Structure 1
Amino acid sequence: MDEMKLDYIMEIAQQKSISKAAKNLFIAQPSLSRYVINLEKRLGVKLFDRSHTPLELTEAGHLMVQYIQQSEALKENFFHELEEHKKSACTEIKIGVVSWRIPVFLPKIVPEFIGKHNNVNVIIKEGVSQDLEALVIEDQIDACVVNGPQNNQSLEYRVLNYEKIVLAVPRNSEVAKNNYDFENDIYRPVDLRSLKNEAFILLVEKYRLGLLSRKIFKSRGIMPSHITYVSNMNTALSMSAVGLGLTFMPESGIERPFDGCESPLYFSIGEPEFGFPLIIAFKKGKKLNQHLMEFIDFVCSNYNEYRQS
């Protein structure tokens, strides 16, 4: 019995009428009646009790319906298991990472993970936090490592660490001279209210650090008169290192190497502190394949160790 004819039996059982079932199945009633009669002859049992209006299933009819339902459930389970098998056999995972974190992920975390899972390829895509989250939701990448906060209801998050925001200051600036004891290597928190006339280098507002920078100024009741806007954290730090202005950055960047020049000095911004969580995000409600789950667990367990090393 093919699937279509099993559908015939189910439709008759549901409608309790051959004529109504024929109409819903878009076939002639006599053809459907002949099919039922021939099937009952072949099986040697009656499936429907025609002495009742509406039709009723016989005991054999109930067994037939039960068999069809079980067959459908088995078929659905088979295709589900097949999809899970294909996912678990996946040898490629796509991970979005904000550019600032690439120096930790590419030379440290990704090679270590691949060394433990040599049948898995990890593809890294750089981008802005909001853009990477959108790609996860659109199933173009599997997960992303981005700056918080966790505010997208379509995603699930796991927190890797929490980072304070510090102020990067050129070494040869008056701000550095006034707040750093070079002889004793002592840093003093900077009062941002005294810096309203200083040049700042800020990320544009589509970056979460760009938005946070504006909140920091608002909390101190100032807005600097000289601001240069950039779209890359590394650019902002490089400009600060050569004396072009002050900039905010996550504290994890303090150990970032600088080519050809000394690094800026890094100061606490005092109270209240500002910061954000670093998170790994994946699509809510989506069944994750085994390799992706292993990658997420690996990053959560090892990120801070690799960052500090």
Structure 2
Amino acid sequence: MTITQLQYVLAVAKYQNFTLAAEKSFVTQPTLSMQIQKLEDELDILIFDRGKKPIQLTEVGKMIVEQAKNIVNESGRIKDIVEQQKGFIGGEFKIGIIPTVMPTLLPMFLNNFIKKYSKVQLKIEELNTELMIQKLLDGSLDAGIAATPLQHEQIKERVLYYEPFVAYIPQNHRLYSNRKIDTTDLAIEDILLLEDGHCFRDGVINLCKNAKDFNDERFQLESGSFETMIRLANEGLGMTLLPYLHTTDLKETEKSNLHHFNEPVPAREVSLIYHRSELKLHIIDALREVIMGVIRGAIAFQNVQIISPVSKK
């Protein structure tokens, strides 16, 4: 049994196709198939049911794949140890970013980072927080950028910045004439929310004092887009709350609908998160340094009240 054989097994399990798995593994299909066959012969079992389309794992194959993930991830950590000792900042680094942060933060730091650390091969995924934590725990992700605190005992959090909430209030709304607003002015029933599953949605619900028994019965909306929320607000369907960075590129006509909160300003805490046993701390340090360097000029708010992203349901 070899690490390479286990890597091939994981590739087929992921892509459910021997040809595609071979292509992604940069080997020929006969080579990949032969190595998996050798492993099955050695173990005297079938890992894959080749009679099904797409290819499926057998019951014992499912257990082998779970163990193979651990073995392959742990074997990769040997290289991480060596690189960290040498001070080498390079190699593959897999990072997840939540959808409400990725569109604004990524363009701000990515170019700077890849220029400064050209030997790091970033692999970036847009993930919700729940899936991000799962991937951090199983070792298929090195770090994530998410709203915190998450209160997870296996996950470390290093704060990057505090991003204030800003209210988008159209002219026909009861709060439009207020130059600034308080959190006590908010009524959950007329705030347009992102679809369920977004931590920013949970943060808004947590912010509202009257949200204990909230049940949105007005209409069902399946959108993860702040742009959609703004358009609906413009149509007179309510107001919405936006993260500060999402307001910087609005049209001038839309900026006139922005209302800031009185201090302490409600804000979300955005952090780099990673598993407590993560070894690529030198890359995490480099990433944090670059992000904090570009964000300082974009967000100058100090007196903030951190709103938890953890759902109270």
With the length of structure 2 as denominator, give the TM-score of the two structures: 0.58
Distance 1:194 1:145 in 2: 28
| 3-state DSSP of counterpart to 1:212 | helix
1:285 corresponds to:
277
* Map 1:182-197 → 2, pairs under 5 A: 187-189=179-181, 195=187
Q: Is the 8 A contact 2:90 2:117 kept in 1?
A: no
| 3-state DSSP of counterpart to 2:254 | coil
1:151 corresponds to:
151
For structure 2, the residue ranges without an aligned partner over 5 or more in a row are 1-75, 301-313
Asked whether 1:248 is paired with 2:241, we answer: yes
Q: Which amino acid aligns with 1:206?
A: G
* Map 1:11-160 → 2, pairs under 5 A: 84-85=81-82, 88=88, 90-160=90-160
Asked whether 1:210 is paired with 2:201, we answer: yes
1:296 corresponds to:
288
1:174 corresponds to:
173
Distance 2:156 2:136 in 1: 11
159-168 or 276-285: bigger deviation: 159-168
2:268 corresponds to:
276
Distance 1:149 1:194 in 2: 23
| 3-state DSSP of counterpart to 1:174 | coil
**Count of aligned positions:** 220
| 3-state DSSP of counterpart to 2:277 | coil
Q: Which amino acid aligns with 1:85?
A: V
Distance 1:100 1:109 in 2: 16
For structure 1, the residue ranges without an aligned partner over 5 or more in a row are 1-78, 180-186
- 157 and 273 in structure 1: CA distance in 2 versus 1, 3 angstrom threshold: same
- 227 and 135 in structure 1: CA distance in 2 versus 1, 3 angstrom threshold: same
Q: Is the 8 A contact 2:183 2:207 kept in 1?
A: no
Q: Is the 8 A contact 1:108 1:306 kept in 2?
A: no
Distance 1:199 1:134 in 2: 34
- 279 and 231 in structure 1: CA distance in 2 versus 1, 3 angstrom threshold: farther
Q: Is the 8 A contact 1:157 1:282 kept in 2?
A: yes
90-99 or 145-154: bigger deviation: 90-99
- 225 and 167 in structure 1: CA distance in 2 versus 1, 3 angstrom threshold: farther
Distance 2:269 2:77 in 1: 36
- 256 and 299 in structure 1: CA distance in 2 versus 1, 3 angstrom threshold: same
- 113 and 221 in structure 1: CA distance in 2 versus 1, 3 angstrom threshold: closer
Q: Is the 8 A contact 1:159 1:300 kept in 2?
A: no
Distance 2:247 2:125 in 1: 24
- 210 and 226 in structure 1: CA distance in 2 versus 1, 3 angstrom threshold: same
Distance 2:109 2:197 in 1: 27
* Map 1:217-232 → 2, pairs under 5 A: 217-219=208-210, 226=218, 229-232=221-224
Q: Is the 8 A contact 1:94 1:143 kept in 2?
A: yes
Distance 1:156 1:292 in 2: 12
Distance 1:269 1:82 in 2: 48
With the length of structure 1 as denominator, give the TM-score of the two structures: 0.58
Relative to its length, the structure with more helix (as a share) is: 1
Q: Identity of paired residues, percent?
A: 17
Q: Deviation per CA, 1:151-176, whole angstroms, max 9, x where unpaired? A: 11111111112233232112x32335
| 3-state DSSP of counterpart to 1:93 | strand
- 293 and 161 in structure 1: CA distance in 2 versus 1, 3 angstrom threshold: closer
Q: Deviation per CA, 1:185-243, whole angstroms, max 9, x where unpaired? A: xx2316755857x6431124432222222223335889587465444142323433454
82-91 or 238-247: bigger deviation: 82-91
1:201 corresponds to:
192
